[in-house]
Amino acid sequence: MEVRDRCKHNQIGAYMIREFDDNKDYDEYSSWFNHLGYAPPTRGMLSTLGFTIYKEIDICSGFLYISNSNLAYIEFVIANPKAKREDRKEGVKKLLTHLQDLAKSKGYEIIMIITATPGFSKNLIENFGYIKGPVSIEHYKEI
Query: What are 62-73's pLDDT values in tens digits?
Result: 999 999 999 999
In the predicted structure, residue 141 carries a pLDDT above the cut 60:
no
Mean pLDDT confidence for 43-47: 97
Considering only residues 124 and 60, tell me which one the structure prediction assigns the higher pLDDT.
60
Taking all residues of the chain, what is their mean pLDDT, rounded to a whole number? 87
Report the side by side order of strands in the sheet with 9-12: 9-12, 15-19, 49-54, 58-65, 71-79, 110-112
